[in-house]
Chains A and B, each alone.
Chain A
Protein backbone atom coordinates (compact mmCIF):
# COMPACT_ATOMS: atom_id res chain seq x y z
CA UNK A 1 0.00 0.00 0.00
CA UNK A 2 1.40 3.37 -0.94
CA UNK A 3 -0.50 4.91 1.99
CA UNK A 4 2.24 3.62 4.22
CA UNK A 5 4.29 6.80 4.17
CA UNK A 6 1.28 8.79 5.32
CA UNK A 7 0.71 6.74 8.45
CA UNK A 8 1.30 8.25 11.83
CA UNK A 9 4.69 7.98 13.43
CA UNK A 10 4.14 6.18 16.74
CA UNK A 11 6.44 8.22 18.92
CA UNK A 12 5.04 11.57 17.83
CA UNK A 13 1.51 10.23 18.28
CA UNK A 14 2.18 9.00 21.84
CA UNK A 15 4.08 12.17 22.77
CA UNK A 16 1.07 14.26 21.81
CA UNK A 17 -1.37 11.89 23.45
CA UNK A 18 0.49 12.01 26.77
CA UNK A 19 1.35 15.74 26.72
CA UNK A 20 -0.04 17.51 29.82
CA UNK A 21 -1.52 14.23 31.00
CA UNK A 22 -2.02 15.53 34.53
CA UNK A 23 -2.45 12.67 36.98
CA UNK A 24 -3.48 10.06 34.42
CA UNK A 25 -2.32 6.52 35.24
CA UNK A 26 -0.69 4.64 32.35
CA UNK A 27 -0.18 0.89 32.01
CA UNK A 28 2.07 0.20 29.03
CA UNK A 29 2.83 -3.13 27.44
CA UNK A 30 5.75 -4.79 25.78
CA UNK A 31 7.59 -3.71 23.99
CA UNK A 32 7.46 -0.60 21.80
CA UNK A 33 4.55 1.01 23.64
CA UNK A 34 6.80 1.08 26.70
CA UNK A 35 9.61 2.81 24.84
CA UNK A 36 7.08 5.30 23.43
CA UNK A 37 5.62 6.05 26.87
CA UNK A 38 9.06 6.44 28.43
CA UNK A 39 10.17 8.72 25.58
CA UNK A 40 7.14 10.91 26.29
CA UNK A 41 8.47 11.52 29.81
CA UNK A 42 9.50 9.42 32.78
CA UNK A 43 6.98 9.42 35.60
CA UNK A 44 6.23 7.06 38.48
CA UNK A 45 2.61 7.00 37.29
CA UNK A 46 3.62 4.75 34.40
CA UNK A 47 3.47 1.02 35.08
CA UNK A 48 5.44 -0.99 32.56
CA UNK A 49 4.87 -4.63 31.71
CA UNK A 50 7.90 -6.15 30.06
CA UNK A 51 6.35 -9.62 30.12
CA UNK A 52 3.08 -11.43 30.81
CA UNK A 53 2.10 -10.57 27.24
CA UNK A 54 -1.64 -10.12 26.88
CA UNK A 55 -2.15 -8.75 30.41
CA UNK A 56 -2.08 -4.99 29.84
CA UNK A 57 -5.82 -4.48 29.36
CA UNK A 58 -6.80 -6.67 32.31
CA UNK A 59 -4.24 -5.00 34.59
CA UNK A 60 -5.62 -1.61 33.61
CA UNK A 61 -9.11 -2.92 34.34
CA UNK A 62 -8.21 -3.91 37.90
CA UNK A 63 -6.52 -0.55 38.41
CA UNK A 64 -9.46 1.41 36.99
CA UNK A 65 -11.90 -0.43 39.24
CA UNK A 66 -9.69 0.28 42.27
CA UNK A 67 -9.25 3.97 41.36
CA UNK A 68 -12.56 5.13 39.89
CA UNK A 69 -11.67 8.82 40.24
CA UNK A 70 -8.47 8.59 38.20
CA UNK A 71 -8.17 8.28 34.43
CA UNK A 72 -6.47 5.00 33.53
CA UNK A 73 -4.89 4.45 30.12
CA UNK A 74 -3.75 1.08 28.82
CA UNK A 75 -1.24 1.73 26.05
CA UNK A 76 -0.22 -1.31 24.07
CA UNK A 77 0.35 -2.89 20.67
CA UNK A 78 -1.92 -4.90 18.41
CA UNK A 79 -0.25 -8.26 19.08
CA UNK A 80 -0.13 -7.71 22.86
CA UNK A 81 -3.84 -6.98 22.92
CA UNK A 82 -4.68 -9.94 20.71
CA UNK A 83 -2.91 -12.31 23.10
CA UNK A 84 -5.42 -11.30 25.78
CA UNK A 85 -8.31 -10.38 23.48
CA UNK A 86 -10.90 -11.86 25.84
CA UNK A 87 -10.17 -8.90 28.12
CA UNK A 88 -12.21 -6.72 25.77
CA UNK A 89 -15.28 -8.87 26.39
CA UNK A 90 -14.70 -8.59 30.14
CA UNK A 91 -14.21 -4.82 29.91
CA UNK A 92 -17.38 -4.61 27.80
CA UNK A 93 -19.22 -6.22 30.70
CA UNK A 94 -17.61 -4.21 33.53
CA UNK A 95 -17.49 -0.88 31.62
CA UNK A 96 -15.46 1.31 33.99
CA UNK A 97 -16.00 4.87 32.79
CA UNK A 98 -12.43 5.93 33.69
CA UNK A 99 -10.67 3.32 31.52
CA UNK A 100 -9.21 3.76 28.05
CA UNK A 101 -7.48 1.13 25.94
CA UNK A 102 -5.27 2.61 23.22
CA UNK A 103 -3.64 0.29 20.71
CA UNK A 104 -0.71 1.30 18.54
CA UNK A 105 -1.38 -0.85 15.49
CA UNK A 106 1.58 -1.33 13.19
CA UNK A 107 0.38 -4.65 11.80
CA UNK A 108 3.62 -6.22 12.95
CA UNK A 109 5.20 -8.30 15.69
CA UNK A 110 7.57 -5.40 16.07
CA UNK A 111 10.03 -6.59 18.69
CA UNK A 112 10.78 -9.92 17.05
CA UNK A 113 11.78 -8.82 13.60
CA UNK A 114 8.71 -7.12 12.21
CA UNK A 115 6.79 -10.23 11.15
CA UNK A 116 3.36 -9.47 9.70
CA UNK A 117 0.59 -9.77 12.32
CA UNK A 118 -3.16 -10.38 12.24
CA UNK A 119 -4.27 -6.78 11.91
CA UNK A 120 -2.27 -6.41 8.69
CA UNK A 121 -4.40 -9.21 7.26
CA UNK A 122 -7.69 -7.67 8.30
CA UNK A 123 -8.35 -8.39 11.99
CA UNK A 124 -10.40 -5.37 13.04
CA UNK A 125 -9.60 -4.54 16.66
CA UNK A 126 -11.98 -1.56 16.75
CA UNK A 127 -14.75 -3.77 15.42
CA UNK A 128 -14.01 -6.37 18.09
CA UNK A 129 -14.19 -3.68 20.78
CA UNK A 130 -17.52 -2.42 19.43
CA UNK A 131 -18.96 -5.92 19.30
CA UNK A 132 -17.87 -6.40 22.93
CA UNK A 133 -20.11 -3.50 23.93
CA UNK A 134 -17.45 -0.81 24.23
CA UNK A 135 -19.32 2.15 22.81
CA UNK A 136 -16.68 4.88 22.61
CA UNK A 137 -14.40 3.66 19.84
CA UNK A 138 -11.88 5.78 17.95
CA UNK A 139 -10.14 4.85 14.71
CA UNK A 140 -7.20 7.22 14.53
CA UNK A 141 -5.12 7.69 11.39
CA UNK A 142 -3.89 11.29 11.64
CA UNK A 143 -2.89 13.97 14.15
CA UNK A 144 -6.37 15.44 14.09
CA UNK A 145 -7.62 12.10 15.32
CA UNK A 146 -4.97 12.15 18.04
CA UNK A 147 -6.31 15.52 19.22
CA UNK A 148 -9.84 14.15 19.39
CA UNK A 149 -8.69 11.07 21.27
CA UNK A 150 -6.65 13.19 23.66
CA UNK A 151 -9.72 15.23 24.56
CA UNK A 152 -11.72 12.05 25.10
CA UNK A 153 -9.00 10.60 27.35
CA UNK A 154 -9.11 13.64 29.60
CA UNK A 155 -12.81 14.36 29.76
CA UNK A 156 -14.82 11.85 27.82
CA UNK A 157 -16.94 9.04 29.12
CA UNK A 158 -15.45 5.59 28.98
CA UNK A 159 -14.57 2.92 28.56
CA UNK A 160 -12.80 4.20 25.49
CA UNK A 161 -11.13 2.01 22.92
CA UNK A 162 -8.85 3.44 20.23
CA UNK A 163 -6.77 2.00 17.46
CA UNK A 164 -4.04 4.29 16.21
CA UNK A 165 -2.74 3.10 12.87
CA UNK A 166 1.00 3.74 12.83
CA UNK A 167 3.75 3.01 10.36
CA UNK A 168 5.98 0.01 10.91
CA UNK A 169 9.08 2.06 11.54
CA UNK A 170 10.68 1.24 14.91
CA UNK A 171 12.18 4.27 16.68
CA UNK A 172 15.17 3.74 18.99
CA UNK A 173 14.51 1.91 22.26
CA UNK A 174 14.08 4.21 25.28
CA UNK A 175 14.62 1.77 28.13
CA UNK A 176 12.83 2.50 31.41
CA UNK A 177 13.61 0.96 34.80
CA UNK A 178 13.31 -2.76 34.09
CA UNK A 179 13.05 -3.95 37.69
CA UNK A 180 9.38 -4.67 38.26
CA UNK A 181 9.68 -4.42 42.05
CA UNK A 182 10.87 -0.85 41.74
CA UNK A 183 8.36 0.14 39.09
CA UNK A 184 5.42 -1.31 41.05
CA UNK A 185 6.43 0.25 44.36
CA UNK A 186 7.19 3.71 43.07
CA UNK A 187 3.86 3.58 41.21
CA UNK A 188 2.02 2.76 44.44
CA UNK A 189 3.93 5.37 46.39
CA UNK A 190 3.12 8.06 43.82
CA UNK A 191 -0.53 7.06 43.64
CA UNK A 192 -1.32 6.06 47.22
CA UNK A 193 1.32 7.82 49.31
CA UNK A 194 4.37 6.66 51.20
CA UNK A 195 2.42 4.77 53.84
CA UNK A 196 1.11 2.41 51.16
CA UNK A 197 4.62 0.91 51.14
CA UNK A 198 4.05 -0.24 54.71
CA UNK A 199 0.81 -2.07 53.96
Chain B
Protein backbone atom coordinates (compact mmCIF):
# COMPACT_ATOMS: atom_id res chain seq x y z
CA UNK B 1 0.00 0.00 0.00
CA UNK B 2 1.18 3.43 -0.84
CA UNK B 3 1.73 5.91 1.94
CA UNK B 4 -0.74 8.73 1.98
CA UNK B 5 1.49 11.19 0.16
CA UNK B 6 -0.55 13.98 -1.32
CA UNK B 7 -0.98 13.83 -5.10
CA UNK B 8 1.29 16.34 -6.73
CA UNK B 9 1.03 17.53 -10.32
CA UNK B 10 4.15 15.69 -11.49
CA UNK B 11 2.19 12.45 -11.87
CA UNK B 12 0.01 14.00 -14.57
CA UNK B 13 2.87 16.05 -15.98
CA UNK B 14 4.90 13.02 -17.02
CA UNK B 15 2.32 11.91 -19.52
CA UNK B 16 2.41 15.35 -21.14
CA UNK B 17 6.20 15.08 -21.40
CA UNK B 18 5.97 11.73 -23.19
CA UNK B 19 3.54 13.23 -25.69
CA UNK B 20 5.60 16.38 -26.10
CA UNK B 21 8.78 14.50 -26.99
CA UNK B 22 6.95 12.21 -29.39
CA UNK B 23 7.03 8.91 -27.53
CA UNK B 24 4.75 6.42 -29.31
CA UNK B 25 5.60 3.19 -27.49
CA UNK B 26 5.67 2.63 -23.74
CA UNK B 27 6.69 -0.60 -22.05
CA UNK B 28 6.86 -1.27 -18.37
CA UNK B 29 7.27 -3.56 -15.44
CA UNK B 30 4.94 -1.78 -13.06
CA UNK B 31 5.66 0.15 -9.93
CA UNK B 32 3.10 1.89 -7.77
CA UNK B 33 4.95 5.14 -8.46
CA UNK B 34 4.20 4.75 -12.17
CA UNK B 35 0.56 3.74 -11.72
CA UNK B 36 -0.94 7.05 -12.89
CA UNK B 37 1.29 7.25 -15.95
CA UNK B 38 0.68 3.60 -16.86
CA UNK B 39 -3.06 4.14 -16.78
CA UNK B 40 -2.82 7.30 -18.87
CA UNK B 41 -0.72 5.50 -21.47
CA UNK B 42 -3.14 2.58 -21.71
CA UNK B 43 -6.05 5.02 -22.03
CA UNK B 44 -4.40 6.74 -25.01
CA UNK B 45 -5.10 4.71 -28.19
CA UNK B 46 -2.19 6.43 -29.92
CA UNK B 47 0.28 5.28 -27.28
CA UNK B 48 1.22 1.66 -27.92
CA UNK B 49 1.59 0.39 -24.38
CA UNK B 50 2.54 -3.02 -23.07
CA UNK B 51 3.92 -4.80 -20.07
CA UNK B 52 6.96 -7.04 -19.90
CA UNK B 53 7.99 -10.14 -17.98
CA UNK B 54 11.39 -8.60 -17.32
CA UNK B 55 12.97 -5.19 -17.81
CA UNK B 56 15.59 -6.87 -20.01
CA UNK B 57 12.98 -7.10 -22.77
CA UNK B 58 12.31 -3.40 -22.58
CA UNK B 59 15.72 -2.43 -23.92
CA UNK B 60 15.06 -4.56 -27.00
CA UNK B 61 11.56 -3.20 -27.53
CA UNK B 62 12.75 0.41 -27.22
CA UNK B 63 15.64 -0.23 -29.62
CA UNK B 64 13.38 -2.00 -32.11
CA UNK B 65 10.91 0.86 -31.96
CA UNK B 66 13.64 3.36 -32.81
CA UNK B 67 14.90 1.21 -35.68
CA UNK B 68 11.34 1.32 -36.96
CA UNK B 69 11.08 5.10 -36.63
CA UNK B 70 9.26 5.42 -33.32
CA UNK B 71 10.36 6.76 -29.97
CA UNK B 72 9.81 4.58 -26.93
CA UNK B 73 10.12 4.78 -23.17
CA UNK B 74 10.44 2.15 -20.46
CA UNK B 75 8.96 2.60 -16.99
CA UNK B 76 10.41 0.51 -14.20
CA UNK B 77 11.48 0.51 -10.59
CA UNK B 78 15.06 0.41 -9.39
CA UNK B 79 14.88 -3.29 -8.56
CA UNK B 80 14.66 -3.94 -12.30
CA UNK B 81 17.82 -2.07 -13.20
CA UNK B 82 20.04 -5.10 -12.67
CA UNK B 83 18.02 -6.97 -15.26
CA UNK B 84 18.87 -4.62 -18.12
CA UNK B 85 22.66 -4.42 -17.92
CA UNK B 86 23.69 -6.89 -20.62
CA UNK B 87 20.89 -5.68 -22.90
CA UNK B 88 22.36 -2.17 -22.73
CA UNK B 89 25.07 -3.46 -25.06
CA UNK B 90 22.46 -3.17 -27.80
CA UNK B 91 21.81 0.54 -27.38
CA UNK B 92 25.43 1.36 -26.53
CA UNK B 93 26.94 -0.52 -29.47
CA UNK B 94 24.44 0.84 -31.96
CA UNK B 95 24.08 4.43 -30.73
CA UNK B 96 20.35 3.93 -30.22
CA UNK B 97 18.48 6.35 -27.93
CA UNK B 98 17.25 4.70 -24.75
CA UNK B 99 15.01 6.51 -22.32
CA UNK B 100 13.78 5.08 -19.05
CA UNK B 101 12.01 6.49 -16.01
CA UNK B 102 13.04 4.66 -12.87
CA UNK B 103 11.17 4.97 -9.59
CA UNK B 104 13.53 4.43 -6.70
CA UNK B 105 13.21 1.93 -3.89
CA UNK B 106 15.62 1.01 -1.14
CA UNK B 107 16.46 4.51 0.01
CA UNK B 108 14.18 7.10 1.66
CA UNK B 109 12.47 5.40 4.62
CA UNK B 110 12.48 2.00 2.95
CA UNK B 111 10.72 -0.72 4.92
CA UNK B 112 11.87 -3.76 2.92
CA UNK B 113 15.57 -4.58 3.43
CA UNK B 114 15.61 -6.66 0.22
CA UNK B 115 15.16 -3.47 -1.78
CA UNK B 116 18.38 -1.91 -0.51
CA UNK B 117 21.09 -3.78 -2.45
CA UNK B 118 19.69 -2.94 -5.90
CA UNK B 119 18.23 0.43 -4.94
CA UNK B 120 21.45 1.70 -3.41
CA UNK B 121 23.50 0.39 -6.34
CA UNK B 122 21.20 1.72 -9.06
CA UNK B 123 22.94 5.01 -9.97
CA UNK B 124 26.44 3.50 -9.88
CA UNK B 125 25.45 0.41 -11.83
CA UNK B 126 23.72 2.45 -14.53
CA UNK B 127 26.67 4.82 -14.83
CA UNK B 128 29.14 1.95 -14.96
CA UNK B 129 27.15 0.57 -17.89
CA UNK B 130 27.34 3.94 -19.69
CA UNK B 131 23.88 5.26 -18.92
CA UNK B 132 23.50 8.97 -18.15
CA UNK B 133 21.67 9.32 -14.83
CA UNK B 134 19.52 12.31 -13.89
CA UNK B 135 17.74 12.34 -10.56
CA UNK B 136 14.66 14.18 -9.34
CA UNK B 137 14.83 14.48 -5.56
CA UNK B 138 11.81 16.71 -4.94
CA UNK B 139 8.38 16.78 -6.61
CA UNK B 140 8.92 20.23 -8.12
CA UNK B 141 11.76 19.03 -10.35
CA UNK B 142 10.35 15.71 -11.58
CA UNK B 143 8.78 16.98 -14.78
CA UNK B 144 11.84 19.03 -15.76
CA UNK B 145 14.26 16.18 -15.05
CA UNK B 146 12.19 13.73 -17.07
CA UNK B 147 11.77 16.19 -19.95
CA UNK B 148 15.49 16.96 -20.09
CA UNK B 149 16.33 13.26 -19.92
CA UNK B 150 14.03 12.40 -22.80
CA UNK B 151 15.36 15.23 -24.94
CA UNK B 152 18.93 14.23 -24.22
CA UNK B 153 18.26 10.60 -25.10
CA UNK B 154 16.48 11.21 -28.38
CA UNK B 155 18.45 14.22 -29.59
CA UNK B 156 21.87 12.86 -28.74
CA UNK B 157 21.28 9.12 -29.31
CA UNK B 158 22.17 8.36 -25.71
CA UNK B 159 20.97 5.99 -23.00
CA UNK B 160 19.44 8.14 -20.26
CA UNK B 161 17.70 7.20 -17.02
CA UNK B 162 15.55 9.66 -15.10
CA UNK B 163 15.44 8.52 -11.48
CA UNK B 164 12.53 9.60 -9.30
CA UNK B 165 13.63 9.48 -5.69
CA UNK B 166 11.71 7.47 -3.17
CA UNK B 167 11.48 10.70 -1.20
CA UNK B 168 9.23 12.04 -3.97
CA UNK B 169 7.05 8.97 -4.27
CA UNK B 170 6.76 8.08 -0.62
CA UNK B 171 7.89 4.94 1.15
CA UNK B 172 5.73 1.86 0.92
CA UNK B 173 4.12 1.11 4.28
CA UNK B 174 2.91 -2.31 5.41
CA UNK B 175 0.35 -2.34 8.19
- Do A and B share a complex? yes
**A66 contacts chain B at the CB level, 8 A cutoff:** yes
With A57-B60, A180-B93 already in contact, the answer to whether A86 and B53 are too (CB < 8 A) is yes
Of residues 174 through 199 on chain A, the ones whose CB sits less than 8 Å from some CB of chain B are 180-181, 183-185, 187-188, 191-192, 196
Q: Chain A residues with Cβ under 8 A from B52's Cβ?
A: 58, 86, 90
Alpha-carbon gap, A56 to B57, bound state (A): 9
Of residues 42 through 62 on chain B, the ones whose CB sits less than 8 Å from some CB of chain A are 48, 50-54, 56-62
**A27 contacts chain B at the CB level, 8 A cutoff:** yes
Alpha-carbon gap, A93 to B57, bound state (A): 14
A56 touches B60 (CB 8 A): yes
**A51 contacts chain B at the CB level, 8 A cutoff:** yes
A188 touches B64 (CB 8 A): no
Chain B, interface size: which category? 20 to 34
Alpha-carbon gap, A181 to B94, bound state (A): 4
Alpha-carbon gap, A198 to B25, bound state (A): 21
With A56-B60, A59-B64 already in contact, the answer to whether A89 and B53 are too (CB < 8 A) is yes
**In the complex, how many residues of chain A place their beta carbon closer than 8 angstroms to a beta carbon of chain B?**
39
Of the stretches B2-10, B13-21, B67-75, the one at the interface is B67-75
With A52-B89, A66-B24, A188-B69 already in contact, the answer to whether A90 and B64 are too (CB < 8 A) is no
**A60 contacts chain B at the CB level, 8 A cutoff:** yes
With A52-B86, A66-B24 already in contact, the answer to whether A58 and B51 are too (CB < 8 A) is no
A62 touches B69 (CB 8 A): no
One of A25, A55, A185, A196 near B60 (C-beta < 8 A): A55
The CB with the most chain B CB atoms within 10 A, among A27, A86, A184, is that of A184
Q: Chain B residues with Cβ under 8 A from A58's Cβ?
A: 52, 56-61, 64
A positions within 8 Å CB-CB of B: 25, 27, 47, 49-67, 84, 86-87, 89-90, 93-94, 180-181, 183-185, 187-188, 191-192, 196
Question: What are 15 residue pairs bridging A and B, where the CB atoms are less than 8 Å apart in the complex?
Answer: A25-B68, A27-B64, A53-B86, A56-B60, A58-B61, A59-B61, A59-B63, A61-B61, A62-B65, A66-B24, A66-B64, A84-B60, A90-B57, A184-B94, A196-B69
